[in-house]
Structure formats: C-alpha cells, structure tokens
Amino acid sequence: MHDHKNYGVYKDLKQDMRDGRLMLHDKVWVDRYEDYIISYTYRREESAELEEMTVQELMNLTKGKATP
C-alpha cells in the first residue's frame, strides 16, 4: 500500500486553481516539515514563520511519487 501525505494539500490546491483563487505564478505561504506539507495560505500571516513558494513549486512538491 502507498501513502502520500501531501495528497490532500494537492487536491485543495487544484480546487483553489479551478475556483480562480490561485494561478501558477501566484505566491503562497507554506507551513511544512521536511517534505510533508502541513498547510498553505494565500494570505500572508505576519506572526507565523512560513516559507514563501509559488503555486507551481508547491504543486511540484506535492504531486511527487507516493512513498511505500
């Protein structure tokens, strides 16, 4: 069985793109632990220490191969 912990984030990201909230070149702020994405937001939160990425970079990270 394969487990891909980023799949839920990938689905949410694709839905935001379909709904017109995000485009590939837009910036998002990501909370992550190594290669595991905890959450992302497209509104900057000053108090949180989040990593800035483009939507394309986030999609590339989350759609990687599933790990065994």
What residue has token string 């483009």? 54
**More confident call, 4 vs 28:** 28
With a pLDDT cut of 70, the percent of the chain lying above it is: 85
Tell me, rounded to whole angstroms, the distance of Cα 65 from its chain centroid: 15
**CA angle at residue 54 from 53 to 60, to 5 degrees?**
90
Cα atoms found within 13 Å of the Cα of residue 25, Cβ hemisphere only: 0
Report how far residue 48's alpha carbon sits from residue 45's, in angstroms, rounded to the nearest whole number.
6
Sign for the pseudo-dihedral over CA of 54, 40, 22, 42: negative
Over residues 6-20, mean pLDDT: 92
Whether the per-residue pLDDT at 14 is higher than 60: the answer is yes
3-state secondary structure of 18: helix
